[in-house]
Copies of this chain bind each other. A is one copy, B any other.
Amino acid sequence: MAASKLLWENALVRIEVEESEIPWYKIFTQHPYKEMSEVPSKTKELLYELLDTIEREMLSYYRPAKINIASFGNYLPHVHWHIMARFEEDSYFPEPMWGKKQRESKLLLPPKELFESQLLISIALKY
């Protein structure tokens, strides 16, 4: 995994951009909870709402084949969720992004900057 950059944050959570051929974001709790069941309900609700918001924006903007969501943390035991837009022609589809590479991808997507601007507006209207 390459370095991540901060997209948005508040007192409870932060959204980072994962460097990848696909649209891929990570939502971390600001406090380093290890497991989701330790996360207070207000933060937990915000995490799920943000996953929902990012998913809706991805579906509308990129028209992906599928949305993938995951929370592992085996290397970094600090609650963080991955949300990814997947495409039939991406390098790993239909395998998860952690699976076996399927092909050399020639993925052509609309500009990420516009997606992120729209996502930030959508988040700003809610929080």
Pairwise interchain contact A66-B70, C-beta atoms closer than 8 A: no
A60 to B75, CA, bound (A): 21
Number of copies: 2
**Contact mask for chain A residues 68-82; partner B; CB cutoff 8 A; 1 contact, 0 none:** 111111110100000
For residue A62, which residues in chain B have a CB less than 8 angstroms away from its CB? none
For residue A36, which residues in chain B have a CB less than 8 angstroms away from its CB? 51-52, 55, 67, 69
For residue A48, which residues in chain B have a CB less than 8 angstroms away from its CB? 44, 48
Asked if A9 is at the interface (CB within 8 A of a chain B CB), the reply is no
The 15 listed contacts between A and B (C-beta, < 8 Å) are: A35-B59, A35-B67, A36-B52, A37-B52, A37-B56, A37-B59, A44-B48, A48-B48, A66-B77, A68-B72, A69-B71, A70-B72, A74-B86, A75-B94, A99-B99
